[in-house]
Structure 1
Amino acid sequence: MKSQITTKWLGEMRFESTNPSGHNLYIDAGEENGGKGEGYRPKALMLSALAGCSGLDVASLIKKMKLKVDNFKIDIDANLTEEHPKYYDKVVMHFHFYGSDLNESKLQKAVDLSIEKYCGVMEMFRQFSELSIESHFHNN
């Protein structure tokens, strides 16, 4: 299956990028790098893709397993190397689940299935980064 996007320069440091979903996004550098901060930063966008990919897996599994979850979020802490080309060499994902009746073992299974089997972005990150995954359960 092929994917194609088109990323068009809008002048200065700003770009517009198409997406197969039909929703375009803007990419821009920060002011410290000659941009105006009017878009996503490319490296941070990679972290959002990682969280989004795994989050979609977990959300789908929550539905399939009929689990009760009021809310969940994924926080990512990533370390950027000092030397160019700079990349994320260490990434820690924190899955936070909120609810009054959380089934922790099944939620952990959903996270494990995403990180071990389903999330393709996670597999891409494994090629260049040391990944750590932590689950946190917040019972109301």
Structure 2
Amino acid sequence: MPTIHAKYLGGLRTEAKHLQSGNVIITDAPTDNNGKGEAFSPTDLVCAALANCMMTLMGIAANRDNIALEGTEYEITKFMQADPRKIAKIEIIFRFPALNLTERQQTILRNTAKTCPVALTLSEDVIVDTKFLF
């Protein structure tokens, strides 16, 4: 059974509907690639998927160890390569609220993030630079 139903809307815009929840995502080509940049680009979504997957797995580990990660914020910066056009590098900075985590807890969160399915799926050609600010 499909997970997503998507369609091309024209004008370099797509719409994807998550069938289980009904949530919809619109994508638009970026301005540096003939688009309007009025929504996430597909490559933006790859970067967001990586960071959100990492955060989700850290959340699972935190729940197991009774660590409240609510309020953790993160920034994602995407670097594109021109030829061939692809994601060359993804920088992610996680900023954790003041939690006074032990070194062991910090190590668990770092290691857990790096094993998320999206990270394991990305090509080794994509540089992932992740910073954890505890």
Q: Residue 130 of structure 1 aligns with which residue?
A: 127
Whole-Å separation in 2 of the counterparts to 1:131 and 1:124: 12
Over aligned residues, Cα RMSD in angstroms?
A: 2.3
Deviates more, 1:124-133 or 1:50-59: 124-133
Q: Does 1:103 align with 2:112?
A: no
Give the match's secondary structure for 1:92: strand
Q: Matched residues, percent identical? A: 21
Aligned residues: 132
Other-structure match for 1:39: 39
Residues 1:45 and 1:33: Cα distance change in structure 2 (over 3 Å): same
| Residue matched to 2:8 | 9
Residue of structure 1 in register with 2:56 after alignment: 56
CA 1:131/1:29 → structure 2, altered by over 3 Å: closer, same or farther?
A: closer
TM-score, normalising length from structure 2? 0.81
Distance in 2 (alpha carbons) for counterparts of 1:91 and 1:26: 21
Whether the 8 Å CA contact 2:54–2:112 is kept in 1: the answer is: no
Q: TM-score, normalised by structure 1?
A: 0.78
**1:79 paired residue number:** 79
**Is the contact between residue 29 and residue 37 of structure 1 (CA under 8 Å) also seen in structure 2?**
yes
Distance in 1 separating the partners of 2:66 and 2:129 = 27
| Structure 2: segments with no counterpart, 5+ residues | none
1:50–1:7: structure 2 CA closer, same or farther, 3 Å change rule?
Answer: same
